[in-house]
Amino acid sequence: MKKLEIHQLTTLDRLIHEPARLMIVALLYTVENADFLFLQRETGLSKGNLSIHLSKLEQAGYVQIEKTYRGKLPLTLCTLTETGREAFQNYRQRLLYLVSATGNNDVPPALNLAPAE
């Protein structure tokens, strides 16, 4: 077991660490791009809430937002930038370090997705 260097926890990217933005970045990490409605459906966020979080990620340079049309319908495409991809990889490495350093290397077969009470 590694010795836990507790100060490593302070280096987590707080912009990504916020749960709604973590969902967005994790989804975008797995696809080339995603439209706004897909992100809304997958995250369960309201349009306004999703829009605010995407704007924060865009301001940080983590997400690129392109507004276009599919036929006559407006389409908002979101892409994780290279900066965003690197930030998420760094975030993942820090979480893996935490898991490793605390001695729990077992990966559960499935997550218990029930909300904490």
What is the C-alpha to C-alpha distance for residues 43 and 54, in angstroms, rounded to an integer? 12
* Residue 77 falls inside a structural domain: yes
The answer to the question of residue 108 being in a domain is: no
Note the pLDDT tens digit of each residue in 26-63.
Answer: 999 999 999 999 999 999 999 999 999 999 999 999 99
Domain annotation covers residue 115: no
pLDDT in tens, 64-98: 999 999 999 999 999 999 999 999 999 999 888 88
- Split at pLDDT 50, 70, 90, the class of 101 is confident
Is residue 73 one of the residues assigned to a domain?
yes
Judge whether 42 and 27 are in contact, CB under 8 Å: yes
Q: Domain containing 81: what range?
A: 34-99
110, part of any domain: no
Average pLDDT over residues 92-110: 73
The per-residue b/e assignment along 23-50, b for 16 or more CB within 10 angstroms, e otherwise, is: bbbbbbeeeeebebeebbeebebeeeeb
In a domain, 18, yes or no: no
Q: What is the pTM of this model?
A: 0.82
Question: What is the bridge-based pairing of β-strands 34-35 and 63-70?
Answer: unpaired
Residue 76 located in a structural domain: yes
Q: Domain with 74 in it: what CATH number?
A: 1.10.10.10
Element (H, E) at 14: helix 14-17
Domain tally, the chain: 1
